[in-house]
Structure 1
Amino acid sequence: MEPSTQDFYDGMAESYHLIYEDWKRTVTNQGKFWGQWVRSRFQSLGNGRIRLLDASCGIGTQSLGLAQYGFDVTATDLSPNSVERARQEAEAMGLSIRFGTADFRTLEQDVAGTFDVVFTADNAVPHLLTDEDLLSACRQFYNKCAPGGMVIITIRDYDSLIRERPRATPPRIFDDGKRIVFQVWDWSDDGTTYTTRQFIVQDHLGTWKTESYTAVYRAVQRSELSNFLQLAGFQRVEWFMPEQSGFYQPIVTATKIEA
């Protein structure tokens, strides 16, 4: 039986910040990056509050920073444990964010209202493994966008990865060698999906502790995701690669044209 995406993130909720060198600094940096990047595409709003749905908020890596940057943020995730962690972090930071548990495929019934931006970063969409689920999610993103709004999605560069099929990510070493973070990837025979095992290894007073969490991803190529977005009704599908945007993953945006 394939590992559950919810179990993956529920299990990691208390440790997720450890995959970053300094998670709180990352929150601030992401808020600044995305705040500027999104506002540059909504210049007509000036400094007004942009209504944003972070549909894969996790423990709040982007939503906390965007709230700091003045966005009107609603944050949801499939993982109740992650949402609760994000809620606690927001409270500690004095931020006002509406939180909830929601699936990409059921946003209409799980989340009230529409938004200027529907947002999902950090390769969350490729957890959907079938064409039906990907199209369903894109339709939900479309329905949650206000007229003139846009969806913003970031995923790994699968156009390259599907050719190379790497077996692991390079280890990242933090805390003067006392914390090591890496992933091992087990590809399917046809290269369309892979199982990730996320490892967090830490030195606790001379004893090394290992945490591992498992999830499955689809290697969604850019043409595939563009097609699903267009089938859902979006227009002006645009891709921005890291060398162009400054973000570490490819970004795709698509617009819901005003009636």
Structure 2
Amino acid sequence: MSYQHFAGLYDRLMEDAPYDMWVSFVNNAIESYSNGPASSLLDIGCGTGEISTRLAQIGYHVTGIDLSEEMLAVARGKAEQNGLEIPFYQQDMRDLNGFTDQDIAVIFCDSLNYLRTTEDVKTTFQAVFKSMRNDGLLLFDVHTLYKIGEVFSEHTFALNDEEISYIWECHPGEEEGSVYHDLSFFLHIGDAVYRRYDENHFQKTYSIETYTSILNEAGFEILALTADFTDRTPVETSERVFFVARKKA
């Protein structure tokens, strides 16, 4: 997914996103499951670098990967502003190049849900496998089928703010677990003048069993499954599932 106009607006719209909770998830997973020190971290689908920056600030050696050059431009500026040296590369998560022996790989903020097929997910996990050291940890989260089907599909969300407003319509896709997001943004540029930007996004998710099967086939073992930024086991109405997986030697 290449965010176009959205990249420049993303951080303003995501001001209340629970970034620190993702960071806590990383720290807790490493403390609980890492075999040995964990320093090098590959942030896949890093977007504007908000999580990358937070992880680098607490001592991880972070490398950020994203498909959108527009998002990466924001991430680079953010790292520079914070006095951090974080390398950011434009790459497809299905075809990672130049990385070996990474201690940790993370794919957060439903980045995996932009992959359209199970083959894409499998290819991504295989690419991550090749980039990691033996016993390295892969940490990621995805939308649940419940969230795609019940929370998103056929619902409209809106924000009316002085600086920026949006209308966000969600329409079910042709396949189970898929949804189209049609977004219109209105950015205040002076007096009573607003500039409109339109974005169309597609997301897809699968059952926990499907992700588990693909992970195992790619060479990972699952260590933990939790839901919604808690330590609780996912239930039918969970909206986001978190995986902790280890690369098998």
Q: In the alignment, residue 120 of structure 2 is paired with which amino acid?
A: D
Instruction: Compute the RMSD of aligned alpha carbons.
Output: 2.8
Distance in 2 (CA, whole Å) between partners of 1:240 and 1:93 is 32
Tell me if structure 2 keeps the 8 A contact 1:187–1:195.
yes
Pairwise CA distance, 1:118: 0.8
Alignment TM-score, normalising by the size of structure 2: 0.84
Instruction: From 37, 40, 46, give the equivalent of 1:51.
Output: 40
Greater shift, 164-173 or 131-140, is seen at 164-173
Match of 2:15 among 1, 21, 25: 21
Aligned residue number for residue 172 of structure 2 = 187
In 2, the alpha carbon distance for the partners of 1:210 and 1:245 equals 41
Question: What is the TM-score of this pair, normalised by structure 1?
Answer: 0.81
> Quick one: which amino acid aligns to residue 200 of structure 1?
F
Question: Which amino acid is the alignment partner of residue 193 of structure 2?
Answer: T
CA drift at 1:255: 0.6
Taking the aligned partners of 1:182 and 1:51, their CA distance within structure 2 comes to 39
Q: Deviations over 1:37-69 (max 9, x none)?
A: 344235665xx6621000111110210111111
Question: How far did residue 35 of structure 1 move?
Answer: 5.0
Q: What do the CA deviations read for 1:45-104 (whole angstroms, capped 9, x no partner)?
A: 5xx662100011111021011111111101111112211221111011101112111111
State how far apart, in whole Å, the 2-side matches of 1:182 and 1:228 are. 35
CA distance in 1, matches of 2:192, 2:56: 39
Number of residues of Structure 1 aligned to a counterpart in Structure 2: 243
Are the counterparts in 2 of residues 238 and 253 from structure 1 also a CA contact under 8 Å?
yes
Could you say if the C-alpha distance between residues 238 and 64 of structure 1 is closer, same or farther in structure 2, counting changes exceeding 3 Å? same
Q: CA deviation at 1:250?
A: 2.1
Contact 1:167 1:186 in 2 (8 A): yes
Q: How far is 1:200 from its partner?
A: 3.0
CA contact (8 A) 1:179 1:201 kept: yes
Matches within 5 A, 1:109-120: 110-120=97-107
Matches for 1:33-48 after TM superposition, within 5 Å:
33-34=24-25, 36-41=27-32, 45=36
Contact 1:185/1:196 (<8 A) preserved:
yes
Match status 1:150 vs 2:137: yes
| Cα displacement (A) at 1:141 | 1.5
Q: Which runs of 5+ in 2 are unaligned?
A: 233-238
For residues 96-245 of structure 1, the aligned pairs below 5 Å read: 96-107=85-96, 110-162=97-149, 166-168=153-155, 170-172=157-159, 178-181=163-166, 183-204=168-189, 205-242=191-228, 244-245=230-231
Aligned residue type for 2:56? A
Distance change in 2, residues 1:101/1:178 (3 Å): closer
Query: How many Å separate the matches in 2 of 1:71 and 1:97?
Result: 10
Residues 224 and 97 of structure 1: is their aligned pair in 2 closer, same or farther, counting only changes over 3 Å?
A: same
Higher strand share: 2
Instruction: Please say if residues 165 and 191 of structure 1, whose CA atoms lie closer than 8 Å, have aligned partners that are also in contact.
Output: no
State percent identity of aligned pairs: 19
**8 Å contact 1:55–1:118 — kept in the other structure?**
yes
Contact 1:19–1:200 (Cα < 8 Å) also in 2: no
Q: Contact (CA 8 Å) 2:101, 2:132: kept in 1 or not? A: yes
Structure 1 segment 56-95 matched on structure 2, within 5 A:
56-95=45-84
Secondary structure at the counterpart of residue 14 of structure 1:
helix
Task: Return the letter of the residue paired with 1:193.
Answer: S
- Corresponding position: 1:11 with 2:16: no
SS of the residue corresponding to residue 73 of structure 2 reads: helix
Distance change (3 Å), C-alpha of 1:140 and 1:80: same
CA spacing shift, 1:255–1:39, aligned 2, 3 Å? closer
| 78-87 or 161-170, larger mean C-alpha shift | 161-170
